[in-house]
Amino acid sequence: MLERPENMRDRSKMSDDPFSDILRLANARSVLSGGFTAGGSWAIRVPAPENIKFFALVKGGCQLRIDGEGAPVRVEEGDVVFISAQRSFVLSSDPRAIPKDGTRVFATSTTRFPKLGEGEDFFLLGGHVRIDAASSGLLEELLPSLMHVRAASPQATMLNWLIDRLVHEHETNLSGVSLASELLVQLMLVQTLRAHLATASTLPAGWLRAMGDQRIAPALRLMHREPGHPWRLEELAKASAMSRTNFAVHFKSVAGVSPLAYLTAWRMRLAQRGLRDEDASIAELARSLGYTSESAFSNAFKRVTGRAPKHYRSAAKAARPSG
């Protein structure tokens, strides 16, 4: 739904939760699409996904090998895996087994959960995360190629409960099962990201590591809550209880960019959404994001995105589905 221009100022103020802001901006929606059972010796190749793939191992264990990622990873019962790398991968009970084509397996199956091999000592639930095409780059920058939360890890307690509830929903098939499953899987994404953030000190510099750093969290909250405010480095450093120099150095070490470069990048993400989804004029959008003139905003937008705001808006409207 389009917002009226007079609401633009209120809309530019987001929340005190930068991580939720990013997920909302990307419009990330988790969808449970199915799974399979297996037994004995088996292997299945999943083609390179267009979306982020995920699976929860309900029963048994297997090897996961992502093309180009080196050694295979062992996945055990209760583990949750998210794969954002757009590369084919193989799940197998035995690395020597010849993989079946996953596309054919699911296309020719008469059930939602096809069976591989002999027996039923393995059960996997899987799906994908849908992201608005215009915002897909945001999560691609944020997420690693593989997130693997092991059932034995301290962060897995909630994930184990969510997996149990998903299985219960599909076994009972009560009214509302689709919506309940969607909400449970969405929580799985959030909980997996939380678990990954718990290892923030070992992550490379970037958005994800910044989200898990408690020292710069107060500054991030300010920038996300009021992106249109003319924030100065001194204000942000004070909010984080650091000197100006220490704050600038630490922020760049975890975020990969300076504080004010982060603020500009965030403003431009909001600007892209505004140009795509809202009817406010470019001048109104510029003011809501802290720019004193339309030309200053246009120059910043073109510098970051490579296109002028009016050209970006025209292209976005042309790409919208008709009807």
Tens digits of pLDDT across the chain (323 residues) = 334 444 444 444 556 788 888 888 877 888 888 899 999 999 999 998 878 899 999 999 999 999 988 889 999 999 999 998 889 999 999 989 999 999 999 999 988 899 999 888 999 999 888 877 666 666 666 678 888 999 988 888 898 899 999 888 888 888 998 889 889 988 988 888 888 888 767 788 888 889 889 999 999 999 999 999 999 999 999 999 999 999 999 999 999 999 999 999 999 999 999 999 888 999 999 999 999 999 999 999 999 999 999 999 999 888 776 65
In a domain? residue 9: no
The model's pLDDT over 158-174, given as tens digits with 9 standing for 90+, comes to: 988 999 998 888 888 88
Residues 6+ apart with CB under 8 A from 42: 92, 93, 94, 97, 100, 116, 117, 122
**Do 133 and 273 have their domain in common?**
no
In a domain? residue 1: no
Last residue of one domain, picked from the residues 198, 219, 245: 198
In a domain? residue 3: no
**Do 213 and 189 have their domain in common?**
no
Q: Structural domain of residue 224, as residue ranges?
A: 208-319
User: Residue 209 corresponds to which tokens in the numbers above?
Assistant: 């590591």
Last residue of one domain, picked from the residues 164, 198, 232: 198
In the prediction, which pLDDT does 5 show?
40
**Do 273 and 222 have their domain in common?**
yes
Alpha-carbon distance of 32 to 246, in angstroms, equals 44
**Do 162 and 281 have their domain in common?**
no
In a domain? residue 20: no
The distance of Cα 179 from the centroid of its chain, to the nearest Å, equals: 20
In the prediction, which pLDDT does 132 show?
73
The model's pLDDT over 169-202, given as tens digits with 9 standing for 90+, comes to: 888 888 998 889 889 988 988 888 888 888 767 7
**Do 192 and 213 have their domain in common?**
no
Alpha-carbon distance of 152 to 218, in angstroms, equals 32
Tokens 């309900």 -> residue: 58
Last residue of one domain, picked from the residues 198, 225, 250: 198
Contact between residue 138 and residue 269 where contact means Cβ atoms under 8 Å apart:
yes
**Do 63 and 159 have their domain in common?**
yes
In the prediction, which pLDDT does 70 show?
80
In the prediction, which pLDDT does 322 show?
63
In the prediction, which pLDDT does 10 show?
46
In a domain? residue 128: yes
Tokens 């962060």 -> residue: 155
CATH number of domain containing 262: 1.10.10.60
**Do 189 and 212 have their domain in common?**
no
Alpha-carbon distance of 68 to 89, in angstroms, equals 9
Between the CA of residue 223 and those of 19, 263, 301, what are the distances in Å?
12, 6, 18
**Do 242 and 105 have their domain in common?**
no
H/E stretch holding 220 reads: helix 217-225
Q: Is the pTM of this model over 0.85?
A: no
**Do 259 and 286 have their domain in common?**
yes
Total of domains in the chain: 2
**Do 246 and 307 have their domain in common?**
yes
**Do 292 and 155 have their domain in common?**
no
**Do 128 and 237 have their domain in common?**
no
